[in-house]
Structure 1
Amino acid sequence: MKKLLVLALILALAISSVACTKETTAPASMDLGPTTAATTAAATEAPASPLEGAVKALFTNMPDDIYKIDQAELVKKVVAGEKLMIVDIRQAADYEKGHLKGAVNLPWGTAISDNLSKLPQDQIVYVNCYTGQTAGQAVITMNLAGIQAKSINLGWNFGISKVAGVEAVTETTTNELADAKSTIDPAVQEAVSAYYAGLAAITDETYKNYKINEDALKALIDGGKNPFILSVRKAEDYAKGHIEGAINIPFGKTTLDDLSALPKDQKIHVYCYTGQTAGETVAALRLLGYDAVSLNGGMGMPSNHPQGWANKGYPTVADNAVFNATNTYFREMPEHIYKIDQKEFIDKVVAGDDMVILDIRAAADYEKGHVKGAVNLPWGSAISDNLAKIPQDKDVMIYCYTGQTAGQAVVTLNVAGIKARSVNLGWNFGISKVEGVAAVTETTANTLADATNTIDADITKAVADYYTGLAAITDERFKNYKVSEKDLKAMIDNQEEFFLLSVRKAEDYAKGHIPGAVNVPFGKDTIDQLAMAKVPMGKKVVVYCYTGQTAGQVVAAMRLRGYDAVSLNGGAGMPSNAPMGWTNAGFELVTE
């Protein structure tokens, strides 16, 4: 059976398809053909190499034990006299002072890759280092070579040495590996050898052993270096507290699928709880061509004190109601993306559908004529002042002049539990163009009922601050959290410091975009992709879409989360909103 499994794996990888199983016995070395370690640095747009597929398969087919074993369970096996293969990757001097009975010493580095073929593929290999962190890296490199390796939880210092009775199975006798017994695919051997040879090539001591200590990461943050930080802890633990600026992709079977958008031109600082699963993540990332390092001691737990970020007393930030609400807004985005077509909207008005309509244009324009039943809450603090009066049990339709400020408004309402949508293209380019709208246009003023909603205090304050902030804008270019086409062009021409963000579809961005723009397509994962794109918190961010409406949504969510974001008036520009928009103003798009 095992031979058939081996043949299946080799055949699958030979046709660039990944096929690994969840067998308890070790898989064979994965046949990667002519692939070399250098190919892992290829652009993410290139077809996946067999090596990439094999690395990802280690996560896709991850066993329930996540390539780890509890320290007490391992010691119990040693005490019971089980036939084990234990690899101690601490320095020789520490190994000589005492190690688990039967353990062989392959000090962290090229000793591992040099002896890869001597490690058995027909039994589990248990690996221990000092704390579990470098062993986490080692088990990934070994499993890639078909060696079923597991790291011992918390290593020697915090794990093994703390187990009651370990003294009885601790020895100083030196043990040796047998002669070569395993067949390692040459491409795998080359990739693993390059991995360990790379340790000696590190010139910045800050990142020795593909790690960074707590003090060094803190210095990067305090120095305004804006390091890219990746948490791989559980979502609920991330929410309770995380290093400020960190994004979260929980460790597990789908981790590497979610990592596909990570940058290869920036150093990625990975942390978990104590460093062990971050070590596994770092090894996989580096094999895939990323410049990744793990945080010494991870977040820090009582079990590995005094190591780790929290154990050092360094600050963490917790998710709050506003943060969680903006996450939910995007992650649970409905198919209508919080918008409604102008004709569909008017059809609902004509049909007498039970809904709330908010006209957020200036009072003078509302008085000239508005959709039947619409209540006027002019753009600004009138919206936040009446937040509690807007029903949470009905659909709320919002329109402005062009759809852009209504795009912002729907975010502020939805985070408050109000099911709001903006009317496409607003009054000027949308509603007023619908055939038959005159029959449902009135000048009668309508009002909201008395307060009915109970809204979280933090959200209420955040929404109030959002709208009072409009009056506090001192630079007229950014009035209403927007910027005109001409002002943006001048900012680009004058090489002003700002970040330009496109939220259009990837294919439309490729066909042409404003010079210097980074693209994060609008959708369910937009809010998560902002961190991956390293959109800065301390710099002006200009966001644009097609006509300004979805950019308005992004701007509102970003501002609620602390970004200094504004949207481009009219977006890239479409025939439907001419003469507004970048291209409608005669400005060019680029494809480079």
Structure 2
Amino acid sequence: MKKLLLILISFSLMLAGCKNPLSKPAPRGKEVDFENFVRSKPVKPLAQIYYEHGNLPNRPDFPYLVKASEVLKNYKNYLVIDLRRPEDYKAGHIPGAYNVPKDKVLDFLKKEHKAAAYPKVVFVCYTGQTASYVTGIMRLAGFDNTYVMLYGMSVWNSKFAGPLLNGVGDRYPDMVETGEGTAHPVAHHGEALPGHHIDWNKFPELPKQLPTLLIEQQARKALKQERKDFLLKADEFFPYYKQNPLDYYVICYLPAKFYVDGHIKGAVRFQPHKDLGVDGRLAEIPKDKKVLVYCKTGHTGSQSAAWLDMLGYKGHNLILGSLSFMYSKWLKNEWMPDVKYLVNEYPVVEGDKPFSGKVQAVAAPKKIAAPKPAVKHKKKEVTGGCG
């Protein structure tokens, strides 16, 4: 093994662009000589490695998302990886997309199609949940040009919209509470200021070995998991949580106004881009419990679960986040449009090869019964964003 993609190199490059993330393109992954690297780096806790080289959840461009419209314009230049089951891939996929199982992604990007050869590597699945988790793992493994396509194939073509349209809803209203809630935040573990000490022993204990080996080991372990080990549907989580509330530590990863307006009973609110960082409230999370992180649409929650898994926690994401159990409230408050208006009629290729088979051209736009509603407090779009 002569070379290995290194998280330290890519995070160092990312930090160089942190002051103005909109002014520079995302840096690509790099390779360095493995033998020279192992002689120069000491063994450190993985939490310390990530703290010194990016503190990923606190970056302004976290989570790493691209819209379907961007992929449509750039799929000939981007590397698109479809993580769905082979039979669903054959039924229709983005032109040029490769069908790769998630547990094979690491080797695919290191050996078959090197990530550094492309401006962006975009992961696609059914609603963006698995793809977002894989994006998080790959970012933490040093692939700093990886992204998830927002909402996955559900918004690429109406033929595949079912998982999104059927996944949103108002399930389990008895498990939702409003106001400040019963679980209140406590003092921060540390601050992002020079000279402040962080007790690395408060984080999960991982094998003491060279950073590159440990990072790859954790990434492969995460990517081999079954879906239920890191993603939970509302109908899987709520019935269990209702009977066993102490088995999960639930994090509402949303700004305060959304938490106050409605959150899962017992959930603790973590402030986005702050509290999940190593210098934030990460050390408060129990090491012996399952952790469920949920956000608005599930994309941020998935990448947050990846962050937790890499550090040795038992991270999970709630599929489609708040939209899966309090969708009507989000629509009523005009915090997001009806998801049916997000569905496009972009071209797909049928068959088991990226470009082979029948190509279905872009269809004429569908007529809709009502105009797309406005969304309150819409932020300026950036590469990342909230999801």
- TM-score relative to the length of structure 2: 0.54
Q: Which residue of 1 aligns with 2:134?
A: 409
The answer to whether the aligner puts 1:388 opposite 2:110 as a matched pair is yes
The answer to whether the aligner puts 1:503 opposite 2:265 as a matched pair is no
Q: Distance in 2 between matches of 1:326 and 1:363?
A: 39
SS of the aligned residue for 1:456 comes to helix
Code of the residue aligned with 2:235 in structure 1: it is: K
Q: Distance in 1 between matches of 2:151 and 2:269?
A: 23
SS of the aligned residue for 2:301 comes to helix
The answer to whether the aligner puts 1:564 opposite 2:314 as a matched pair is yes
Contact conserved, 1:338 with 1:410, CA < 8 A, in 2?
A: yes
Choose from 535, 544, 547 the match for 2:285. Answer: 535
Taking a change above 3 Å as real, the CA distance of residues 329 and 360 of structure 1, as seen in their structure-2 partners, is farther
Higher relative contact order (CA 8 A, sep 6+): 2
Q: Distance in 2 between matches of 1:326 and 1:463?
A: 19
Taking a change above 3 Å as real, the CA distance of residues 584 and 320 of structure 1, as seen in their structure-2 partners, is closer
SS of the aligned residue for 2:141 comes to coil
Contact conserved, 1:392 with 1:417, CA < 8 A, in 2?
A: no
1:77-125 superposed Cα distances (whole Å, 9 cap, x missing partner): xxxxxxxxxxxxxxxxxxxxxxxxxxxxxxxxxxxxxxxxxxxxxxxxx
The answer to whether the aligner puts 1:479 opposite 2:219 as a matched pair is no
The answer to whether the aligner puts 1:458 opposite 2:220 as a matched pair is no
Code of the residue aligned with 1:537 in structure 2: it is: K
The Cα shift of 1:325 comes to 7.4
Q: Distance in 2 between matches of 1:410 and 1:561?
A: 16
Contact conserved, 2:57 with 2:274, CA < 8 A, in 1?
A: yes
Q: How many residues align?
A: 231
The Cα shift of 1:385 comes to 3.6
Taking a change above 3 Å as real, the CA distance of residues 521 and 568 of structure 1, as seen in their structure-2 partners, is same
Contact conserved, 1:330 with 1:524, CA < 8 A, in 2?
A: no
Taking a change above 3 Å as real, the CA distance of residues 331 and 532 of structure 1, as seen in their structure-2 partners, is closer
Q: Which residue of 2 aligns with 1:517?
A: 267
1:12-61 superposed Cα distances (whole Å, 9 cap, x missing partner): xxxxxxxxxxxxxxxxxxxxxxxxxxxxxxxxxxxxxxxxxxxxxxxxxx
Q: Distance in 1 between matches of 2:249 and 2:47?
A: 27
Taking a change above 3 Å as real, the CA distance of residues 584 and 480 of structure 1, as seen in their structure-2 partners, is farther
Q: Which residue of 1 aligns with 2:326?
A: 583
The Cα shift of 1:422 comes to 0.5
State the Cα RMSD in Å. Answer: 2.9
SS of the aligned residue for 2:315 comes to strand
Taking a change above 3 Å as real, the CA distance of residues 433 and 528 of structure 1, as seen in their structure-2 partners, is farther
Code of the residue aligned with 1:503 in structure 2: it is: Y
1:156-215 superposed Cα distances (whole Å, 9 cap, x missing partner): xxxxxxxxxxxxxxxxxxxxxxxxxxxxxxxxxxxxxxxxxxxxxxxxxxxxxxxxxxxx
Q: Which residue of 1 aligns with 2:45?
A: 319
Code of the residue aligned with 2:219 in structure 1: it is: V
Q: Summarize the alignment of residues 165-314 of structure 1 with structure 2, pairs less than 5 Å apart.
A: none
The Cα shift of 1:334 comes to 4.7
SS of the aligned residue for 2:126 comes to coil
Code of the residue aligned with 1:456 in structure 2: it is: T
Taking a change above 3 Å as real, the CA distance of residues 572 and 565 of structure 1, as seen in their structure-2 partners, is same
Q: Summarize the alignment of residues 334-349 of structure 1 with structure 2, pairs less than 5 Å apart.
A: 334-335=60-61, 337-349=63-75
Taking a change above 3 Å as real, the CA distance of residues 503 and 432 of structure 1, as seen in their structure-2 partners, is same
Contact conserved, 1:322 with 1:560, CA < 8 A, in 2?
A: no
1:466-517 superposed Cα distances (whole Å, 9 cap, x missing partner): 122x15xxxxxx7151222123222332143221111122221122111111
SS of the aligned residue for 1:528 comes to coil
Contact conserved, 1:322 with 1:415, CA < 8 A, in 2?
A: no
The Cα shift of 1:400 comes to 0.8
The Cα shift of 1:407 comes to 1.1
Choose from 481, 489, 503 the match for 2:238. Answer: 489
Contact conserved, 1:330 with 1:525, CA < 8 A, in 2?
A: no
SS of the aligned residue for 2:80 comes to strand
- TM-score relative to the length of structure 1: 0.36
The answer to whether the aligner puts 1:547 opposite 2:297 as a matched pair is yes
Contact conserved, 2:81 with 2:122, CA < 8 A, in 1?
A: yes
Contact conserved, 1:385 with 1:464, CA < 8 A, in 2?
A: no
Choose from 432, 453, 477 the match for 2:157. Answer: 432
Q: Distance in 2 between matches of 1:561 and 1:341?
A: 29
Q: Distance in 2 between matches of 1:544 and 1:338?
A: 16
Q: Distance in 2 between matches of 1:326 and 1:387?
A: 25
Q: Distance in 1 between matches of 2:288 and 2:328?
A: 29
Q: Distance in 2 between matches of 1:326 and 1:374?
A: 35
SS of the aligned residue for 1:486 comes to helix
Taking a change above 3 Å as real, the CA distance of residues 520 and 348 of structure 1, as seen in their structure-2 partners, is same
Taking a change above 3 Å as real, the CA distance of residues 529 and 320 of structure 1, as seen in their structure-2 partners, is closer
SS of the aligned residue for 1:397 comes to strand
Q: Distance in 2 between matches of 1:321 and 1:532?
A: 10
Taking a change above 3 Å as real, the CA distance of residues 345 and 522 of structure 1, as seen in their structure-2 partners, is farther
Taking a change above 3 Å as real, the CA distance of residues 516 and 530 of structure 1, as seen in their structure-2 partners, is farther
Taking a change above 3 Å as real, the CA distance of residues 392 and 415 of structure 1, as seen in their structure-2 partners, is farther
Code of the residue aligned with 2:307 in structure 1: it is: A
1:519-549 superposed Cα distances (whole Å, 9 cap, x missing partner): 1133265323663571111111111111211
SS of the aligned residue for 1:516 comes to coil
1:400-437 superposed Cα distances (whole Å, 9 cap, x missing partner): 11111111111111122221010111111x22259xxx
Q: Which has the higher helix share?
A: 1
Code of the residue aligned with 2:326 in structure 1: it is: T
Q: Distance in 2 between matches of 1:329 and 1:561?
A: 12
Taking a change above 3 Å as real, the CA distance of residues 325 and 392 of structure 1, as seen in their structure-2 partners, is farther
Taking a change above 3 Å as real, the CA distance of residues 424 and 562 of structure 1, as seen in their structure-2 partners, is same
Q: Distance in 1 between matches of 2:235 and 2:67?
A: 29
Taking a change above 3 Å as real, the CA distance of residues 491 and 528 of structure 1, as seen in their structure-2 partners, is same
Q: Distance in 2 between matches of 1:465 and 1:326?
A: 23
Q: Which residue of 2 aligns with 1:369?
A: 92
Choose from 360, 366, 382 the match for 2:83. Answer: 360
Q: Distance in 2 between matches of 1:331 and 1:479?
A: 23
Taking a change above 3 Å as real, the CA distance of residues 487 and 529 of structure 1, as seen in their structure-2 partners, is farther
